[in-house]
């Protein structure tokens, strides 16, 4: 199993408004086999807080992703900083089985260019292999 993350994303403007009020996450299964479960977590990140400050989970969903299917989620991001993690049952060595992209939107629904995260921006932060 691979866990992908965009890491902590700062979300506050200098005037204390949010850059993005939501993030649209697009998850694509690029294989002919279903992937299940796909788990998506969003956390209110510490942002500029001192290192070691805990992230607080605020969004969780789990679903099956059919063969060659696409799922689009809209995740609220009205927090000073956020982290989005997506786990896939595919081993990290087969990371090409899933493609993830995300795009922030402001309160008016406009795309936020600095909150654009193509698949190459998602790091594998954890892997869990089969156990014997």
pLDDT at residue 45, rounded to an integer: 82
Residue with tokens 């892997």: 127
Tokens of 87: 């786990």
Question: Cα(20)–Cα(120) distance, rounded to whole angstroms?
Answer: 20
pLDDT band of residue 124 (cuts 50, 70, 90) is confident
Q: What is the pLDDT of residues 103-122, one digit of tens each?
A: 999 999 999 999 999 988 88
Average pLDDT, the chain: 85
Cβ neighbourhood burial of 9 (10 Å; 0-12, 13-18, 19+): buried
Q: What per-residue confidence (pLDDT) applies to 92?
A: 54
d(CA 102, CA 115): 8
Per-residue model confidence (pLDDT) at position 54: 80
Task: State the pLDDT at residue 52.
Answer: 66
Q: How much is the pTM?
A: 0.85
Per-residue pLDDT reduced to its tens digit, 12-50: 888 988 999 999 999 999 888 888 889 999 999 876 555
Residue 97 confidence (pLDDT):
81
pLDDT tens figures, 61-101: 999 999 999 999 999 999 989 999 998 776 655 556 888 99
Q: Where in the chain are the domains?
A: 2-38+63-127
SS (H, E, C) the chain: CEEEECCCEECECCCCCECCCEEEEEEEECCCCCEEEEEEEEEECCCCCCCCCCCEEEEEEEEEECCCCEEEEEEECCCCEEEEEEEECCCHHHHHHEEEEEEEECCCCCEEEEEEECHHHCEEEEECCCCC
* pLDDT at site 129: 46
Q: Which pLDDT belongs to residue 91?
A: 61
């Amino acid at each position: 199993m691979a866990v992908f993350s965009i890491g902590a994303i700062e979300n506050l403007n200098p005037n204390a408004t949010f850059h993005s009020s939501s993030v649209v996450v697009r998850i694509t299964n690029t294989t002919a086999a279903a992937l299940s479960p796909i788990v998506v977590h969003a956390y209110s990140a510490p942002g500029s807080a001192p290192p070691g400050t805990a992230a607080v989970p605020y969004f969780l969903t789990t679903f099956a992703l059919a063969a060659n299917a696409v799922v689009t989620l809209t995740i609220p991001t009205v927090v000073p900083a956020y982290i989005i993690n997506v786990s896939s049952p595919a081993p990290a060595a087969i990371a090409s089985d899933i493609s993830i992209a995300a795009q922030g939107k402001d309160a008016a629904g406009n795309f936020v260019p600095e909150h654009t995260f193509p698949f190459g921006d998602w790091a594998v932060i954890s892997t869990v292999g089969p156990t014997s």
